[in-house]
Chain A
Amino acid sequence: MAREPRLQKGSDMPITRRDVLRTGALGVAGLSMPFVRPSWAQSGPVKFGLLLPYSGTYAPLGEAVNRGLDLYLASKGGKLGGREITFAKVDDESAPPKATELTTKLIQGEKVDILFGTVHSGVAMAMVKIAREEGLPTIVPNAGADAITQAMCAENVFRTSFSNGQVGFATGQAMLAAGLKKVVTVAWKYAAGDESVAGFKRAFVKGGGEALKDIAVPFPDVEFQSALAEIASLKPDAVYVFFAGGGALKFIKDYAGAKLGIPLWGPGFLTDGVEKAAGEAGDGVKTVLHYVQSLDNPENKAFVEAFRGAYKAEPDVYAVHGWDAGQLIAVGLEAVGGDVSKRKELNAAMAKASFASPRGPFKLSSSHNPIQNFYLRELKGGVNQYLGVVAKELADETTGCKLA
C-alpha cells in the first residue's frame, strides 16, 4: 500500500521523499547551487546524499543524525576539502522494501558524490548492498547491523556509530565486572535484538557468567507481563534488556511496577531519549554505551555547547554519530583536496582516520567499524550519570570480512 510521506510533528525540518531536490540546511543555508553536477568541476559543491528516516518511529533519530552532521559542517564554515557541500535528502521511512529504489534514486538520479544512511538496519543493509556495487564512498551514521562491518564489509563502506554485537559485548563485560553471575535476557525478536544478545553472551557466558534464559518478545509488541512473570520465577542476579524508544520506556515502567528488586541492565538504547519520561521508574537502571552527555573532554564540551546553541535542545548519541560522520568525511575530502573522483585515496584516508570525537578517541577497525570506549551509566532523577569506563578502545569482531 502506497503511503504518502508526511510531515512529522515537532520537527523543525520537515522533509519528505518528495523533497529529494530540496537542499539546504542549517549551516549551509547560504548555498544556492543545488542542481550542479560537480564531478567535472572540482570548484563546485560536493553533493551529499542523505538516506534517513524523516518520518515514522525512527524520525527523531534521523533528525538527530542530520543535525549532528549539519552542525559539524557549520563549524567548518560549510566547506570541506575546500569545496562547498550540497544535500539531496530522502526519507527512507524505515521501510526496507523501499530501500533499494530510494538508494538507486540518490545514486543514479541525484548523482550524489557521498552517501550517508541510515538508522534502520534492514534499510541500511539494502543500501550498503548497492553502495558496494557502485563503489560510492558511504558512511553509515547509525544502523548497528553486525553484517555491515562483518560479512558485508567493503572498502568504501564506513560506520561512525557501533555494531549491535559490540554494544552487547561491552555490556556483558560490565555486568561480569559488577559481579553478576546469573542473567535473563529480554529482547525484541529481530536482527538487532538477536545480535545484541549474541554479543552480550560472547562476553558474559565466555567470562563465566550464566544466561538462564533468552526471552524474545515479538517486534514491536510492548506486552511484557509474561516476560516479567518468567523473570520473577527464574530469580536471576540481573536482567539484560534490549529495547529502544517507546518499547524501552514501557518496559522500564512495567519492570518497576513488577517490584522484582532485580537490577535492570542493558545497552544504552534502553534509556537514551526516555530519561525524563521514565521518571522514578528509571532510577537505578544501569546501561552501557559509547557516549554519555556528561563526558569530560574538550571535544564533547564544545559539541554539547554548539548543539544547545543551534537547536535549543540536548544532544544525544545519535547526534554524535552524525557529527562524527562529518568528521570522517572531512578527513577523506581533505586528503584528496575535495576531488571526489579519487575514490581510492578518499576511502584509504577515511580508513586510517583517527580523531577526537565527543565520545572519546575515534578510529576505525580493519572492517571500518569504530574502535571506541564504552562507558557505564546509571539513570538517576531523569539524567544518565557517568560511572566510569567499561572498555577502552573496544573493537568489534571482523568475522567474515575480507578486508580484515
Chain B
Amino acid sequence: MSLYFVQILNGLQYGLVVFLAASGLTLVFGVLGVINLSHGSFYMLGAYAALTLTSLFGDIFVALALGLPLAFLFGMAIEWLFIRHLYARDHLQQVLLTFALILIFNEVQQSVWGNNPLSIPTPPYLARSVMITGALGYPVYRIVLMAICVALALAMVFVIQKTRVGRLIRAAESNREMVEALGFDSRILFRLVFAAGVALAAAAGILAAPVESAYPGIGDRVLITSFVVVVIGGIGSIRGAFVGSLLIGLADAFGKVLVPQFSSVIIYALMALVLALRPAGLFGRA
C-alpha cells in the first residue's frame, strides 16, 4: 500500500510543477490566441537561471525571488520584440517564429552553460528526508516544492477571479474585440499576460531545478507535456490546466510502476481518450 501512497505523492509533485508551466501556456493561448512553442524554453532558461543565481546568491528561494521579476521583464521584452507582430497572423507563422525562438534559446543555453548536465543545490536546511513510510525517506525539498506550487496556484486563482486585471483577462479570453471596444488598451494587457506566462514557466523551471537538475533539451519535454495538459484540460482554462496536470502527474507516476513498458505513452493515451470523449477538453468551451 505504501508504494501507492508514495506514488500519489510523486504524481502530485510532478503534476504541480507541470501545472505552473502549463497554466502559463494556456493563459497565453487563451488570451492572446498565440501558439507559443518557445514556452518550454522559458522553463529551460528558468532552470539555468536558477543555476547561475544560486551560484551567485546561494539559495534557490533567493533565485526565485530574483528570477521571477527578471523573467517577467524578459517576457515583456520578448512580447514587444516578436510576439506582438503575431496577433493578426495565422497559426503557421506563430509556430514558425516561436520555433525559431526555441533554436535561439537552445544555442544561447549551449554557449553560456555548455552541454553537461548541471546540478543545482538544494538549500542545506531542506536537504533532509523525512520517513513517510517505514522504509522510505522523502526529500523535504519536494514537500516544500509542492506547498509553493499550491500557493502560487491559489495566488493565480485569486488574481484571475478577484482583481480588475483578472476580470479583464477573463473578458479578453471570451471576447477580445469587446474588451477593446470598451476602451481598454489590449496591447498592454497582452504584454502583461505574455510576461506572466513566461514568469510562470520560469518559476516552474527554477523550483524544479534542484530536483531535476539542468541539462540541454529539458524544456522540450516540458513543452510537450504542457501541450498535452492544455489539450486535456481545455484551451484557455486554468482550472482545466490544474486538473489536467494532476491527472498527467498521477498517470505518469502509476504508469511507471504498474505498466512500465507503456509508461512513456500513457499520458498520450490519456490525451487521446479525453479527445475522443470530450473534444474540447475537460473544461473547454466547445
Contact = CB atoms under 8 A, between A and B. Distances in A.
B260 A249 contact: no
B70 interface: no
Q: Which of A57, A233, A249 has the most CB of B within 10 A?
A: A233
Contact of A229 (B6, B129, B264): B6
A229 B115 contact: no
A175 B103 CA distance: 46
A106 interface: no
Nearest to B221: A221
Q: Size range of the interface on A?
A: 35 or more
Interface stretch (B131-139, B172-180, B278-286): B131-139
Contacts of A261: 135
Given A229-B6, A246-B215, A259-B137, A9 B114 contact: yes
Candidate in A55, A259, A261 with the most chain B CB atoms within 10 angstroms: A259
A24 interface: no
B212 A57 contact: no
A181 interface: no
B interface, how many residues as a size bin?
35 or more
A316 to B, nearest CB: 16
Given A1-B103, A218-B264, A226-B10, A259 B129 contact: yes
Given A218-B264, A259-B136, A260-B135, A226 B215 contact: no
A57 B136 contact: no
Residue among A216, A220, A228, A229 with max Cβ neighbours from chain B (10 Å): A229
Interface string B188-218: 0000000000000000000000011101000
A225 interface: yes
A355 B135 CA distance: 49
Contacts of B136: 228-229, 232, 258-260
B245 interface: no
B256 A59 contact: no
B257 A230 contact: yes
A263 to B, nearest CB: 14
Contacts of A257: 127, 129, 137, 139
B3 interface: yes
A57 B115 contact: yes
B246 interface: no
Contacts of A222: 117, 212-213, 215
Contacts of B215: 220, 222, 246
A319 B260 CA distance: 37
Interface string B100-116: 00010001001100111
B7 interface: yes
Nearest to A56: B115
B93 interface: no
B18 interface: no
B186 interface: no
Given A229-B3, A229-B10, A232-B2, A3 B110 contact: yes
Nearest to A217: B256
B86 to A, nearest CB: 22
B275 to A, nearest CB: 24
Interface in B1-56: 2-3, 6-7, 10, 13-14
B68 interface: no
Contacts of A227: 256
B24 to A, nearest CB: 21
A111 interface: no
Given A57-B117, A222-B213, A250-B119, A215 B260 contact: yes
A9 to B, nearest CB: 6
A129 interface: no
Nearest to A8: B114
B119 A249 contact: yes
B76 interface: no
Nearest to A53: B115
Interface in A244-268: 245-247, 249-250, 254, 257-261
A216 B260 contact: yes
A232 B135 contact: yes
A222 B119 CA distance: 11
B266 interface: no
Contacts of B142: 225
Given A246-B215, A250-B213, A229 B117 contact: no
Contacts of B257: 226, 229-230
Interface string B131-173: 1010111110010000000000000000000000000000000
B97 interface: no
A244 to B, nearest CB: 11
Contacts of B95: none
A201 B138 CA distance: 30
A222 B2 CA distance: 23
Contacts of B14: 223
A246 B6 contact: no
B274 interface: no
13 contacts: A3-B110, A55-B115, A59-B115, A218-B264, A220-B215, A222-B215, A226-B7, A226-B10, A226-B256, A228-B136, A246-B215, A258-B129, A258-B136
Interface of A: 1, 3, 6, 8-9, 55-57, 59-60, 215-216, 218, 220, 222-223, 225-230, 232-233, 235, 245-247, 249-250, 254, 257-261
Given A227-B256, A259-B136, 19 more contacts: A1-B103, A3-B110, A6-B111, A9-B114, A55-B115, A220-B215, A222-B212, A223-B211, A225-B142, A229-B6, A229-B257, A232-B3, A233-B3, A245-B116, A249-B119, A257-B139, A258-B136, A259-B129, A261-B135
Interface of B: 2-3, 6-7, 10, 13-14, 103, 107, 110-111, 114-119, 127, 129, 131, 133, 135-139, 142, 211-213, 215, 253, 256-257, 260, 264
